[in-house]
C-alpha cells in the first residue's frame, strides 16, 4: 500500500475535495447485508496513495462500480480544477478500496473524457468531476449500495437545489482521526452554480480534504451530487457539489460504457435529523 495522503479539496477561490432518472439496474446484483458489507458508499479509496471518499454504487449488466471524484486521480495542484486542462492518471490505474481484497480499476474519468472530446463549455469543464472504479469481481459479494447512517439513495435528483434546501452527506477523511460521529453531515444549499452543474452548500461539519468525492443526498434521500471543492472565497467553509444527474448524463453520452445506473440503497432512508 503506498503512503496514504488526503487528496486536496480543490481550490476555486475554492479547493478540489478529494464527491438517468431515478433508475436502478434492471437486474441488480445480490448485495451483501448492509450491516456486514465491507464495500459501500463512504469507504476510503486510494489512488496512487491519495485518499478520497467513495460516493455511490453503480452497475451495468456485468460490472459493479464505486464512484469517486475525477480529481482524486489528478496529478496537478489543488488549484487545478478545470477538468478540460488538468492532468490525471490514466484509465486502468489501480485503486485501493478499503474493505476489498483486490484493487479496483479506474475505468472512467470525466476529466480524461472531456479532454479527449475537446470539451469547451466552461461550466462543464469546471464542474464535471466524476470517476468510476470497477470493483474486482471477486469482491462484488462484499458490496452494499446504502449510504451509512442516512440510508438510501432512493433515486436520482434531477431538479438541482434552491437556496435553503436541505442536503445530507457522509464524509470519511482520515483527518478526523477515526471519529465516525463526525462523518454524517447535514446542511443547507445556497443554490445552484454553473447553470446547474454545481451546488454550493454549507454543512455541519464542512467537507475537508479526504472527503473529496463523497455522496450528497437531498432531503428525500435522492442522490444529488459529488463533493468536489471546498471554498476559501467568497464563502469560506462552503463546499461545491457537482450535480450527479448531469455527470451521469455526460458519462452516458460519451464514455462508451454499457448503460451504467445508480443503485438504490437497501436500507430505508432515515431523513434529516433537523426539521429545517
Cell for 71?
480529481
pLDDT at residue 120 in the model? 98
- pLDDT at 259 exceeding the cut of 60: yes
- pLDDT at 245 exceeding the cut of 80: yes
- Tens-place pLDDT, residues 34-87: 999 999 999 999 999 899 999 999 999 999 999 999 999 999 988 889 999 999
- pLDDT at 174 exceeding the cut of 90: no
- pLDDT at 157 exceeding the cut of 70: yes
* Average of per-residue pLDDT values in the chain: 88
- Tens-place pLDDT, residues 114-139: 999 999 999 999 999 999 999 999 99
- pLDDT at 11 exceeding the cut of 50: no
pLDDT > 70 fraction of the chain, expressed in percent and rounded: 85
pLDDT at residue 236 in the model? 58
- pLDDT at 272 exceeding the cut of 70: yes
pLDDT at residue 26 in the model? 46
Under CATH, which architecture does the 5-262 domain have? Beta Barrel (2.40)
pLDDT at residue 90 in the model? 98
- Tens-place pLDDT, residues 16-41: 444 333 344 446 789 999 999 999 99
Cis preceding-peptide flag for 240 (omega within 30 of 0): no
pLDDT at residue 36 in the model? 98
Residue 214 or 9, more confident: 214
pLDDT > 90 fraction of the chain, expressed in percent and rounded: 74
* Domain limits, the chain: 5-262
- pLDDT at 234 exceeding the cut of 70: no
Amino acid at each position: 500500500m503506498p503512503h496514504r495522503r488526503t487528496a486536496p479539496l480543490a481550490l476555486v477561490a475554492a479547493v478540489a475535495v478529494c464527491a438517468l432518472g431515478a433508475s436502478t439496474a434492471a437486474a441488480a446484483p445480490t448485495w451483501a447485508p448492509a450491516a456486514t458489507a465491507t464495500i459501500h458508499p463512504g469507504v476510503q479509496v486510494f489512488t496512487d496513495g491519495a485518499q478520497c471518499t467513495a460516493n455511490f454504487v453503480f452497475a451495468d449488466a456485468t460490472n459493479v462500480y464505486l464512484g469517486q471524484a475525477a480529481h482524486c486521480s489528478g496529478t496537478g495542484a489543488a488549484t487545478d480544477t478545470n477538468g478540460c486542462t488538468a492532468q490525471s492518471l490514466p484509465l486502468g490505474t489501480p485503486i485501493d478500496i478499503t474493505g476489498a481484497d483486490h484493487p479496483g480499476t479506474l475505468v472512467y474519468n470525466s476529466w480524461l473524457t472531456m479532454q479527449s472530446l475537446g470539451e469547451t463549455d466552461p461550466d462543464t469543464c469546471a464542474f464535471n468531476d466524476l470517476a468510476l472504479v470497477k470493483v474486482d469481481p471477486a469482491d462484488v459479494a462484499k458490496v452494499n449500495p446504502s449510504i451509512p447512517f442516512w440510508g438510501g439513495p432512493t433515486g436520482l435528483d434531477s431538479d438541482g437545489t434552491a437556496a435553503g434546501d436541505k442536503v445530507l452527506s457522509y464524509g470519511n477523511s482520515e483527518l478526523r482521526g477515526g471519529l465516525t460521529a463526525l462523518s454524517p453531515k447535514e446542511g443547507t444549499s445556497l443554490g445552484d452554480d454553473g447553470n446547474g452543474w454545481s451546488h454550493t452548500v454549507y454543512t455541519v461539519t464542512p467537507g475537508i480534504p479526504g472527503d473529496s468525492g463523497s455522496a450528497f443526498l437531498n432531503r428525500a434521500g435522492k442522490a444529488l451530487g459529488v463533493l468536489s471543492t471546498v471554498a476559501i472565497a467568497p464563502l469560506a467553509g462552503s463546499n461545491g457539489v457537482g450535480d450527479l444527474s448531469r455527470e451521469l448524463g455526460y458519462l452516458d453520452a460519451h464514455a462508451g460504457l454499457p448503460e451504467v445506473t445508480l443503485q438504490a440503497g437497501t436500507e430505508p432512508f432515515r431523513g434529516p435529523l433537523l426539521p429545517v
